[in-house]
Amino acid sequence: MQDAAFLTTATRHGGGLLKAAAACPDAPRPWLDLSTGINPEPWRGPRAAEAELNRLPDPGALVALEAVAASAFGCAPDRMAATAGAEAAIRLLPLLLGVRSVEIVGPTYGAHAESWRAAGVATRLIAADQAAASQAGVLVIVNPNNPDGRLTRRADLIAMARARSAVGRWLVVDESFIECAPDDSVSDVVEPGLIVLRSFGKFYGLAGVRLGFMLAAPDLVQHLRALLGDWPVGADALTMGRGAYADLDWRARTERALAERTDRLDDLLAEAGFQIVGGTSLFRMTRTPHAARWFQHLCEAGILTRPFAHTPDGLRFGVPTERDFPRLQRALEAFA
Amino acid sequence: MQDAAFLTTATRHGGGLLKAAAACPDAPRPWLDLSTGINPEPWRGPRAAEAELNRLPDPGALVALEAVAASAFGCAPDRMAATAGAEAAIRLLPLLLGVRSVEIVGPTYGAHAESWRAAGVATRLIAADQAAASQAGVLVIVNPNNPDGRLTRRADLIAMARARSAVGRWLVVDESFIECAPDDSVSDVVEPGLIVLRSFGKFYGLAGVRLGFMLAAPDLVQHLRALLGDWPVGADALTMGRGAYADLDWRARTERALAERTDRLDDLLAEAGFQIVGGTSLFRMTRTPHAARWFQHLCEAGILTRPFAHTPDGLRFGVPTERDFPRLQRALEAFA
C-alpha cells in the first residue's frame, strides 16, 4: 500500500474502490469489495426504459412505488415518503424535528451524528443500556446496529416509542438492515413520535439507484415531501423499487441464501483467527489485534474490508457471493 | 375528456401522462408529450453498468462528474455541487440562505415561490422591470424564463449580482434552460452573493436520471453538501452526466437542430392561429382565446400540452422530434 492516508479515508464509509485501487496499484483486479453491507447478489429485474429516462418521473409512478413498498413494510402509504436513499432522510431529519438535543446509541453509522452536529444540535453517543432512560429530544437507534449487529427487540422499541411520544419526544429507528431481522421491525407501528428509516440499496443490492423511505406521522411526511420536491427519486428507483418490493419470493430466497453464506463466512474467519463479535446476514464484525495489518494484507490481495476509527481492533467483512469465497479463502490463508 | 379535474392537475407541472391517459381513455396511444421543456431527442450514451447499481456511488465518480460539468459551465469545481435535479436545490435554498423576504421575477416556474412559502419566508412575485431595484434578501430570476422565454442579459445580471453582493443580498439565477441561450449564462461569474442553478435533464433530455447543480461560493457549497450527504446522485446520473457534458459536439449539433425545429413549430402554430409570445428552443409559449378548447382537442388526439393557471389564454408547446411533426400537424389542422 503506497498511500498511508488511505486507511483514514477507508474508516469513513465503505466503498471508495477508486481510492483503494490508487493506494494499492499492484493489487489484482477486479477488486472484491467487502467493505460495505450491500448485498453482492442484487435483485435482478428490468431497469427503467430509455423513454422513462427522457421524462420527468410520473407522479403516478411514485404513488405506485410507495404503495408496493408500504405493503412490504406493513405501513400505510400516507405514513411514508420515498427519498433518494436513507441517507437523504438522515441529512434532513434535523430540519424536520426542531430539537435541542440528540442521543444516539453507538458506536454506529457515523452519518447520524454528523448530520445533527452540522445542524448545531447537541449530540451525544450513549450505550444501549442507557437508551430507555434517554431524555434527549431525539433518540436514534440503528436496528440492527451497524457495524456490530446489536439487535433491539421490537417490544422494547415500542415501549420506548410510546413513552417518548407521551412527553413529546422522538424516537428514530434506522432500519437500514432490518431485512436481516424482520421480526424486530417497527415499520408497522403507529406512534406520533416514532420515525422509521428504510433503505432499499442494502438488502436488494441496489445502492447505486438511491432509494430509501422515511416512515412517520402524515404531517411530518408532508413536510419532508415539501423539502424534497416533486421528483424525489429517479427513474430506475421507481421501476426497480416497485419490482423488487413486490417480489416476495426473492425476499424469502435471499433471506435463506444470506444466512447460509454468513455461516460459511463465520467459519472461514474463525479459522483465520478472527473473533466474530456480531453482525447481520449482510456483514460480520470481527476483532483481531492485527486489524491494520489484516486490512493492508487484504488490500494487497485486491479485497477491500472496512476498518473503524472508533474501534482500531475491529474489521468488518461484507458477506461475499458464492463465487468469491475461494478468493477470500486464499487471501485469508496467505496471511503471515 | 372525462375528468374535469384533470385541467387543474395539468396546470401544476408538465408531465403526468398517467393522469392524462386516465382522463382521455379514448386518445390514441402512445401519447405525444409536449407538456414539458425536456428535449425529446436525448443525449444517447452508456448508462451505468449493472455493477455500478450494485454499489454505493464512488466518491471519485462524483468528483469526476463535477469536474466535467464545471468545465462545461466555465466555473471552478469547488464552486459547485451536484444535486438530484435542479428541483432538489430549489427546495433546499430556504435552508441555506437565512433571509426574511424573497422576490421572484414572474410569472415563472412555480416551485420557487412554493419552496420559499413552505419555509415561511415572505415571498412576492415582481415584474422584470422591478428586479434591479429589489431590496429583498433574495431575488430569483429564471433565465431564460419559463414559460415565456424572457431573457435577462448577462451584463444586467452581473450588475445586479454585484450591487446585491455589496449589501449582503443574494441573487439566484435559475439557468435550467440556459443551453438555449448560452451567451447569457452567468455560471462563470464569481460574486459572493450569486447562486446559479443548472439542470441536466432538460437540454440533455434525461430528466428521469435526476441531475442538477448549484453553483455558489465554496462555503455555501459545503453547507449544501452537508445537507445532501455523501451520495447526492445515483449511478446513471454519474455515468450519463459525465458522458454528456464532455460531448461538446453533441451540444453544438443539438443547439442547431433545436433551433431549426423551433422555427418549424412556430410556422405550424402560427398557421393554426396561435400567437407566439416567446419561449426557448425547447418550448414555445403561445396565446389563443381558445386555450382550454385547444388543450382538450389536443388531449383527445393524444397530445399533451401545458396550460397555466396564471395565464388562462396561454398554452405551451414542447418542441417535437422530426418524426412527431406530422402527428402534431394533423391534430392542429383538425381543430374545429
Q: What is the pLDDT of residues A236-284, one digit of tens each?
A: 999 999 999 999 999 999 999 999 999 999 999 999 999 999 999 999 9
Q: Which whole number is the average pLDDT over A289-299?
A: 94
Range from A100-104, A223-227, B90-94, B332-336 that averages highest in pLDDT: A100-104
Q: Check if A85 contacts B (Cβ < 8 Å).
A: yes
Return the pLDDT at A100.
Answer: 95
Half-sphere CA count of B196, side-chain side, radius 13 A: 28
B234 in Cβ contact with A84 (< 8 Å): yes
DSSP B138-175: EEEEESS-TTT-----HHHHHHHHHHHHHTT-EEEEE-
Q: Do B173 and B266 belong to one domain?
A: no
CATH code for position B312: 3.90.1150.10
Give the separation between CA B3 and CA A86, rounded to whole angstroms: 37
B19 in Cβ contact with B6 (< 8 Å): yes
Return the pLDDT at A9.
Answer: 67
Query: Grid coordinates standing for B51?
Result: 455493477
Q: Which of A96, A87, A220, A136 is nearest to B226 (CA)?
A: A87
Return the pLDDT at B3.
Answer: 52
pTM of the model: 0.93
Confidence of residue A107 (pLDDT cuts 50, 70, 90): very high
Bridge partners, B82 (sequence order): B213
Give the separation between CA A12 and CA A18, rounded to whole angstroms: 15
Give the separation between CA A283 and CA A267, rounded to whole angstroms: 14
Query: Last residue of some domain: B246, B273, B293?
Result: B246
Residues of chain B with pLDDT under 70: 1-9, 15
Q: How many domains does chain A have?
A: 2
Q: Do A219 and A70 belong to one domain?
A: yes
Return the residue in B9, B43, B44, B54 with the most chain A beta carbons within 10 A, the one to mutate for interface testing: B54
Query: Last residue of some domain: A246, A281, A315?
Result: A246
CATH code for position A187: 3.40.640.10
Q: Do B272 and B297 belong to one domain?
A: yes
Half-sphere CA count of A209, side-chain side, radius 13 A: 32
Backbone phi and psi for residue B32, each to the nearest 5 degrees, phi listed first: -100, 110
Structural domain span for residue B287: 4-42+250-333
Q: Do B81 and B189 belong to one domain?
A: yes
Q: Assign residue B44 a region: left if phi > 0, alpha if psi is -120 to 50, beta otherwise?
A: beta
Q: Which whole number is the average pLDDT over A173-183?
A: 97
Give the separation between CA B136 and CA B123, rounded to whole angstroms: 9
Q: Check if B125 contacts A (Cβ < 8 Å).
A: no
Instruction: List Cβ neighbours of B167 (8 Å cut-off, separation of 6 or more).
Output: none
Q: Do A102 and A207 belong to one domain?
A: yes
Determine the distance in angstroms separating the CA of B336 from the nearest CA of chain A, rounded to an integer.
31
Search chain B and give the residue with CA nearest A95: B95
Q: Do A208 and A282 belong to one domain?
A: no
Bridge partners, B122 (sequence order): B101
Q: Do A186 and A321 belong to one domain?
A: no
Q: Do B122 and B159 belong to one domain?
A: yes
Q: What HEC string does A183-244 produce?
A: HHCCCCCCCCCEEEEEECCCCCCCHHHCCEEEECCHHHHHHHHHHHCCCCCCHHHHHHHHHH
Give the separation between CA B203 and CA B185, rounded to whole angstroms: 14
Q: Which of B166, B171, B176, B168 is nearest to B156 (CA)?
A: B171
The share of chain A scoring above pLDDT 90, in percent, equals 88
Half-sphere CA count of B153, side-chain side, radius 13 A: 4
Q: In what order do the strands lie in the sheet with A283-287?
A: A275-279, A283-287, A311-318, A306-308
Bridge partners, B141 (sequence order): B173
Q: Do the bridges between strand B138-142 and strand B170-174 make them parallel or antiparallel, or are there none, so unpaired?
A: parallel
Q: Check if B182 contacts A (Cβ < 8 Å).
A: no
Q: What is the pLDDT of residues A10-54, one digit of tens each?
A: 777 676 788 888 889 999 999 999 999 999 999 999 999 999 999
Instruction: Count Cβ–Cβ pairs < 8 Å, chain A vs chain B.
Output: 176
Give the separation between CA B204 and CA B200, rounded to whole angstroms: 6
Determine the distance in angstroms separating the CA of B59 from the nearest CA of chain A, rounded to an integer.
6
Q: Which of B196, B199, B143 is nearest to B170 (CA)?
A: B196
Backbone phi and psi for residue B206, each to the nearest 5 degrees, phi listed first: -135, 50
Q: Do A167 and A316 belong to one domain?
A: no
Q: Check if B209 contacts A (Cβ < 8 Å).
A: yes
Which residue among B36, B54, B209 sits closest to A234, beta carbon to beta carbon? B209
Return the pLDDT at A318.
Answer: 97
Query: Last residue of some domain: B246, B277, B293?
Result: B246
Q: Do B66 and B173 belong to one domain?
A: yes
Q: Do B75 and B135 belong to one domain?
A: yes
Q: Do the bridges between strand A122-126 and strand A275-279 make them parallel or antiparallel, or are there none, so unpaired?
A: unpaired
Q: Do B144 and B189 belong to one domain?
A: yes
Q: Which whole number is the average pLDDT over A166-188?
A: 98
Instruction: List Cβ neighbours of A213 (8 Å cut-off, separation of 6 or more).
Output: A66, A69, A73, A80, A81, A82, A83, A86, A89, A197, A198, A200
Average pLDDT score, chain A = 94
Give the separation between CA B117 and CA B138, rounded to whole angstroms: 13
B147 in Cβ contact with B314 (< 8 Å): yes
CB contact residues (below 8 A), chain A span 234-253, against chain B: 234-237, 240
A254 in Cβ contact with A41 (< 8 Å): yes
Determine the distance in angstroms separating the CA of B24 from the nearest CA of chain A, rounded to an integer.
16
Backbone phi and psi for residue A224, each to the nearest 5 degrees, phi listed first: -60, -45
* CB neighbourhood size of B276 (10 A): 17
Return the pLDDT at B7.
Answer: 67
Q: Check if B4 contacts A (Cβ < 8 Å).
A: no
Q: What is the pLDDT of residues A50-90, one digit of tens each?
A: 999 999 998 899 999 999 999 999 999 999 999 999 999 99
Backbone phi and psi for residue B261, each to the nearest 5 degrees, phi listed first: -70, -30
Bridge partners, B303 (sequence order): B32
Q: Which residue has the cell 429564471?
A: B142
Give the separation between CA B201 and CA B210, rounded to whole angstroms: 7
Determine the distance in angstroms separating the CA of B52 from the nearest CA of chain A, rounded to an integer.
6
Q: What is the DSSP letter of B43?
A: -
Return the pLDDT at A3.
Answer: 52
B228 in Cβ contact with B82 (< 8 Å): no
Return the pLDDT at A8.
Answer: 63
3-state helix, strand, coil in chain A (%, to 5): 45, 20, 40
Search chain A and give the residue with CA nearest B16: A58
Give the separation between CA B229 and CA B231, rounded to whole angstroms: 6
Q: Which of B174, B243, B178 is nearest to B214 (CA)?
A: B174
Q: Check if B86 contacts A (Cβ < 8 Å).
A: no
